[in-house]
Chains A and B, each alone.
Chain A
Amino acid sequence: MSTLNPTPTQVRTGTRRASRRRTSVNIPVTLLIAVLSLTILIPLYFTIVTALKSSDQLGGNGLALPTSIHWENFSNAWQLTNFPHALLISGIVTVAAVILTILTNSLVAYAIARNMHRPFFKALYYFFIAALFVPFPIIMLPVTKEMAVLGLDNPVGLFLLYTVYGLSFNIFVYTAFIKSIPAELEEAAIMDGASVWTTYRKVIFPILTPINATVGILTCLWAWNDFLLPLVILSDPNTRTLPLVQYVFQGQFNTDYATAFASYLMAMAPLLLIYLFAQRWVISGVMRGSIK
Chain B
Amino acid sequence: MSISSAKALRPRTSAGLQRRKPSRVNKTFYWMVIPALVLFVILHTIPTLTGMFFSFTNYAGYGEWNFVGIHNYVNLFKDDRILASYGFTFIFAITTTIVVNVGALFIAILLNSKIKYQTAFRGIFFIPNILSVLIVGYVFNYLLSNNLPLIGQALGIKWLSTSILANPDLAWLGIVGVTAWQSIAFSVIIYLAGLQTVPGELYEAASLDGASPWRQFWSITFPLISGFFTINMVLALKGLLQAFDQIVALTNGGPGTSTESVSMVIYRGGFQGGEYGYQMANSVVYLVVIVVLSLLQLRVLSRKEADFS
A interface list, Cβ under 8 A from B = 19, 23-27, 29-30, 32-34, 36-37, 39-41, 43-44, 46-47, 50, 58-62, 104-105, 107-108, 110-112, 114-117, 121, 124, 128, 131, 133-144, 146, 160-161, 164-165, 167, 179-180, 182-183, 186-187, 190, 195-197, 200, 221, 224-225, 227-228, 232, 242-243, 246-247, 250, 257, 260-261, 264, 267-268, 271-272, 275, 279-280, 282-283, 286-287, 290-291
Contacts and interface: CB of A to CB of B under 8 A. Distances in A.
Question: Residue among B13, B121, B262, B263 with the most chain A CB within 10 A?
Answer: B13
19 contacts: A36-B107, A40-B128, A46-B143, A112-B33, A131-B45, A134-B44, A138-B284, A141-B271, A143-B44, A146-B47, A160-B39, A164-B39, A179-B10, A183-B10, A190-B20, A227-B134, A243-B135, A268-B132, A290-B193
A258 B6 CA distance: 57
A163 B116 CA distance: 40
Given A111-B32, A114-B14, A25 B287 contact: no
Given A112-B33, A187-B16, A164 B242 contact: no
B286 A138 contact: yes
A124 B37 contact: yes
Contacts of A134: 44, 48, 287
B32 A283 contact: no
Question: What 10 A-B pairs come out closest when comparing CB atoms?
Answer: A138-B283, A111-B32, A142-B47, A183-B13, A225-B132, A196-B28, A143-B47, A142-B50, A287-B193, A279-B123
A291 B6 CA distance: 17
Contacts of B197: 291
Interface of B: 2, 6, 9-14, 16-17, 20, 25, 28-30, 32-33, 36-37, 39-40, 42-48, 50-51, 54, 61, 107, 110-111, 113-117, 119, 121-135, 138-140, 142-143, 146-147, 150-151, 181, 186, 189-190, 192-194, 196-197, 228, 231, 238, 241-242, 244-245, 248, 262-263, 266-267, 270-271, 276, 279-280, 283-284, 286-287, 290-291, 294
B33 A29 contact: no
Contacts, number: 268
Contacts of A36: 107, 110
A121 B33 contact: yes
Contacts of A261: 139, 142
A228 to B, nearest CB: 5
A133 B293 CA distance: 10
Contacts of A59: 146
Contacts of A25: 114-116
Chain A contact residues: over half helix, strand or loop, or mixed? helix
Given A139-B48, A290-B190, A30 B242 contact: no
Contact of B127 (A164, A227, A275): A275
A250 B138 contact: yes
A148 to B, nearest CB: 12
Contacts of A257: 142
Contact of B124 (A24, A37, A61): A37
A128 B133 contact: no
Given A58-B146, A143-B47, A167-B36, 20 more contacts: A24-B114, A37-B125, A39-B181, A44-B127, A114-B10, A133-B238, A133-B291, A141-B51, A164-B39, A164-B43, A180-B6, A190-B17, A221-B130, A225-B134, A243-B135, A246-B138, A261-B139, A268-B131, A286-B126, A290-B194
Contacts of A224: 132
Contact of B115 (A33, A160, A243): A33
A195 B28 contact: yes
A27 B114 CA distance: 9
Given A37-B124, A131-B44, A164-B39, A260 B138 contact: yes
A200 B126 CA distance: 34
